[in-house]
Amino acid sequence: MVRGHVQGVYYRDYVAREARALGLAGHVGNLADAVSVEVYVEGEMGAVDRLLERLRDGPPLSRIDSVEVDWRDPAGRAAGFEIRW
């Protein structure tokens, strides 16, 4: 869960591009509160760690207040990385 100024600043596109470049699967989507984006990702642990670093940076117009991580065993249900609307 990423909170801050993350909606309307191409944050989902940024996350999708970075996740795909790292070979990760999952999805990213805005939440109804207008200040949060949910990211679900599966993949190699080193790549997930690199994505977490990039989530904290974000694209130029974003402002990241917090990144909350809920670690779980991979479900194996993700194929590719998609943006959810």
Burial class (CB in 10 A: 0-12, 13-18, 19+), 60: exposed
Exactly one of 3, 12, 17, 77 is catalytic; which is it?
12
Specify the 3-state DSSP secondary structure of 83: strand
Exactly one of 30, 54, 72, 77 is catalytic; which is it?
30
Active site residue 12: yes
Structure token digits, residue 78: 């993700």
Active site residue 30: yes
With contact defined as beta carbons under 8 Å apart, do 64 and 49 qualify? Answer: no
Tell me the catalytic residues: 12, 30
